[in-house]
C-alpha cells in the first residue's frame, strides 16, 4: 500500500506545534521523529534522520563482533525482555509451567546470571574491550554484576543501562532542537 503524502499543519498551528515540541525537548523528554512529522517539512526530516544515522556508527561495528559476544548479547536481550515483561506485569505465554501465570522475579534473575556465567566461561579477556565496563568476576559489585544495571553491555548498546554509547542521547537532543528551532524561525519570518 502506498504511503500517504505528508501534510504539514497550517502556518499558525505549525508554529504552535513547533513551540510545544521545543519545550518537550528542552524539558528532557524524548521526542520521536514521527512526532515531528506534522510540523517539520519532509526534506528536513529526511536530512535529520540521515544526520542521526551518520552520528551513530554502532551498526558498522556490529558486523565485526566476535561470535561469542553475539551470543552474549542475545542472552542479555532475552534477560532484558523478561525484565520488561515483569515490570509491565504481563503474563508469560511461553515456557514450561508459566503459561498464563505472572512471571516470577527469579526467572529474570536467572536470565541475567546465565548471561554473566556465559561471559565468564566463553568470552575471552581480549574481547572485553567490546564491553562498556570491565567485568569483575571475583567481586561483582555496583559497577558490574549479574543484574539489569550491572551487566556489562556491548559498546554501542542503546540500553538505558549501558555506560558507554557511541552517540549520546544529548547529541540526539541537540540535533532535534537545532532542526526545530530552524523550522520555527522559517515559520516566524515567512
pLDDT by residue (tens digit) across 146-188? 877 788 888 777 777 777 655 556 777 788 888 888 888 887 7
CB 85 within 8 A of CB 107: no
Decide if 187 contacts 18 (C-beta within 8 A).
yes
Average pLDDT of the residues of the chain: 75
- Taking the C-alpha atoms of residue 107 and residue 99, their distance in angstroms, rounded to an integer, is 14
Listed in sequence order, the residues at least 6 apart from 110 whose beta carbon sits closer than 8 Å to its beta carbon are none
CA torsion sign for 127, 128, 129, 132 is: positive
Confidence of residue 84 (pLDDT cuts 50, 70, 90): confident
* For the chain, percent of residues with pLDDT exceeding 90: 6
pTM assigned to the model: 0.52
Amino acid at each position: 500500500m502506498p504511503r500517504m503524502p505528508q501534510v504539514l499543519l497550517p502556518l499558525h498551528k505549525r508554529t504552535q506545534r513547533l513551540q510545544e515540541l521545543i519545550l518537550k525537548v528542552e524539558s528532557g523528554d524524548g521526542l520521536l521523529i514521527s512526532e515531528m512529522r506534522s510540523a517539520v517539512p519532509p526534506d528536513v526530516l529526511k536530512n535529520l534522520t540521515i544526520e542521526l544515522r551518520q552520528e551513530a556508527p554502532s551498526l558498522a561495528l556490529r558486523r565485526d563482533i566476535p561470535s561469542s559476544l553475539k551470543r552474549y548479547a542475545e542472552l542479555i536481550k532475552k534477560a532484558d525482555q523478561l525484565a520488561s515483561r515483569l515490570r509491565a506485569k504481563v503474563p508469560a505465554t511461553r515456557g514450561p509451567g508459566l503459561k498464563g501465570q505472572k512471571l516470577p522475579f527469579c526467572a529474570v534473575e536467572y536470565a541475567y546470571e546465565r548471561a554473566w556465567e556465559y561471559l565468564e566461561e566463553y568470552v575471552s579477556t581480549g574481547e572485553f574491550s567490546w564491553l562498556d565496563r570491565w567485568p569483575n568476576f571475583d567481586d561483582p559489585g555496583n559497577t558490574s554484576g549479574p543484574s539489569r544495571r550491572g551487566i556489562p553491555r556491548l559498546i554501542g548498546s542503546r540500553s538505558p543501562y549501558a555506560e558507554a554509547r557511541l552517540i549520546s542521547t544529548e547529541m540526539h537532543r541537540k540535533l532535534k532542537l537545532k532542526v526545530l528551532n530552524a523550522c520555527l524561525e522559517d515559520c516566524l519570518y515567512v
